[in-house]
């Protein structure tokens, strides 16, 4: 069994259950701005991209004229900050898994498409912020997932070796980011029905239904 010393974690859908929150925010924003209702599956398959890229794709698919992104972002995030406490929680065994990795002196980082203010807010709320001395958000890179730059930036800050680094995520964008970075990846399949529905072929080294299996690599 291959061993790793550096572990990069996506945030939304990997460590935190945020899918319902994200969907609620999109439904609110799209209704308010465009009077548009988009099926959940058309929104879910964009989770993992930066918000700006998600909005661009939604507008393209529905032949909508994009409003200035700052305006949409303000509506979307203001609503999120009103309702997030009802939704944010850790997936099962997340804190216990991170604790065991830390106890084995493994180096941990967050690589997320979520911007820093809510990334920090949600990590602190769920009491896992201190596990991650390195946090890469879209403000820190020019290119974002699925491009390699976010993972490469995390590895640079960690002084990590590619051969000893594993990227753990739940979306195709995480797996593509890992592949472009030249590192191994671990697809977490918390929601089996969602992954099956998309019928996506993931370029990944490992696929698991829970996070604790990552401990086999230490």
| pLDDT per position as a tens digit, 167-190 | 999 999 999 999 999 999 999 988
Contact between 115 and 144 under an 8 Å Cβ cutoff? The reply is: no
For the chain, what is the largest distance between any 2 Cα atoms, rounded to a whole number of angstroms? Answer: 52
* Confidence (pLDDT) at 200: 65
CA–CA dist 5, 162 (Å, integer): 10
Specify the pLDDT at position 199: 57
Residues found in the chain: 218
pLDDT of 194 over the 60 cut: no
Q: How many CA atoms lie within 13 A of 141 on its CB side?
A: 25
> CB under 8 Å to 200, separation ≥6 — which residues?
172
Three-state DSSP class for residue 91: coil
What pLDDT, in 10s, does the model give residues 78-129? 999 999 999 999 999 999 999 999 999 999 999 999 999 999 999 999 999 9
User: pLDDT-based confidence at 196, cuts 50/70/90?
Assistant: very low
pLDDT band, very low/low/confident/very high, at 13 (cuts 50, 70, 90): very high
Confidence of residue 11 (pLDDT cuts 50, 70, 90): very high
* Positions marked catalytic: 10
CA angle 191, 141, 128 (to 5 degrees): 50
- Pick the more confident residue, 195 or 180: 180
**CA–CA gap between residue 93 and residue 120 (Å, rounded):** 20
Dist. CA 168–CA 43, nearest whole Å: 22
pLDDT at residue 202 in the model: 81
**Residue scoring higher pLDDT (191 or 178):** 178
Residue 157: the pLDDT is 98
pLDDT at 190: 86
| Nearest-10 crossing angle of helices 116-125, 69-83 | 10
| Count of CB atoms situated within 10 Å of the CB of 126 | 16
pLDDT in tens, 42-81: 898 898 899 999 999 999 999 988 889 999 999 999 999 9
Distance from C-alpha of 4 to C-alpha of 206, rounded to nearest angstrom: 13
SS3 content of the chain, % helix, strand, coil (to 5): 50, 15, 35
Is residue 197's pLDDT more than 80? Answer: no
């Amino acid at each position: 069994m291959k061993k790793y010393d550096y572990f990069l974690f996506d945030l939304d859908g990997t460590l935190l259950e945020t899918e319902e929150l994200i969907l609620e925010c999109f439904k609110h924003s799209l209704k308010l701005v465009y009077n548009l209702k988009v099926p959940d599956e058309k929104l879910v398959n964009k989770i993992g991209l930066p918000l700006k890229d998600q909005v661009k794709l939604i507008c393209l698919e529905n032949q909508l004229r994009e409003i200035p992104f700052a305006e949409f972002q303000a509506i979307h995030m203001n609503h999120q900050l009103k309702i997030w406490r009802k939704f944010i929680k850790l997936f099962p065994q997340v804190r216990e898994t991170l604790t065991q990795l830390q106890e084995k002196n493994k180096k941990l980082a967050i690589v997320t498409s979520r911007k820093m203010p809510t990334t920090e807010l949600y990590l602190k709320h769920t009491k896992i912020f201190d596990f991650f001395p390195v946090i890469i958000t879209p403000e820190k890179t020019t290119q974002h997932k699925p491009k390699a730059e976010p993972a490469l930036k995390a590895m640079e800050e960690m002084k990590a070796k590619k051969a000893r680094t594993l990227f753990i995520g739940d979306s195709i964008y995480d797996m593509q980011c890992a592949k472009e970075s030249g590192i191994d990846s671990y697809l977490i399949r918390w929601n089996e029905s969602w992954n099956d529905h998309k019928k996506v072929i993931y370029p990944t080294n490992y696929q698991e239904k829970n996070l604790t299996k990552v401990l086999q690599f230490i």
